[in-house]
Structure formats: C-alpha cells, structure tokens
Amino acid sequence: MGLRQALAGAVGLEPVALMTLGILVLLLTPFLRVVAVFFSFMLIEKDFRYTLVSMGVLMVLAASLVIPGIKH
C-alpha cells in the first residue's frame, strides 16, 4: 500500500490504511528524533563532536532501512 492510498484510506477509517500509517509513524520516530538532536547540537549547542555522533547514528538508521537484512 502506497502513502497516498494509506492517507486516503485513513480518512475513510480503513483498518489496513490506519495500521500502515501507524507503522510508518513508528518507523519515522527515531529518524525525526535524531534529526532534531543533530540540528540542536549543530545550531544551538555548537558542539561539533556530538554533531558528528548524531550524524553517524542517522547514517546507521538510514542504512538499516536501505540495506536488507542478512538471511540465514
């Protein structure tokens, strides 16, 4: 189910669409938090070390979605 279908289905209160949007929100929560922390360290705190750590964590999170898991 695509994002447009999920949004349209959620307006119509379709259960599958609501579950799809719920899973999408759960997947995006860590990313948004790390992005917020990254900008906080970079713009407000001006702490280069923690900015790099946040960028590394963000790269690992992005790689976990792009690179498929290893099948045994």
Residue 38 and residue 47 in contact, taking contact as beta carbons nearer than 8 Å = no
For the whole model, what pTM was predicted?
0.68
- Joined together, the tokens standing for residue 61 give 């999170």
Rounded-to-integer distance, Cα 20 and Cα 28, Å: 12
Amino acid letter, 39: F
pLDDT for 40 equals 93
Q: Is residue 72 part of a domain?
A: no
Q: Is 32 left (phi over 0), alpha (psi -120 to 50) or beta?
A: alpha
pLDDT at 55 over 90: yes
Q: How many domains does the chain have?
A: 1
Q: How many CB atoms are located within 10 Å of the residue 55 CB?
A: 14
Reply yes or no on whether the pLDDT at 13 is more than 80. yes
Q: Which domain holds residue 46?
A: 3-66
Please determine, for residue 10, whether its predicted confidence score (pLDDT) is greater than 60.
yes
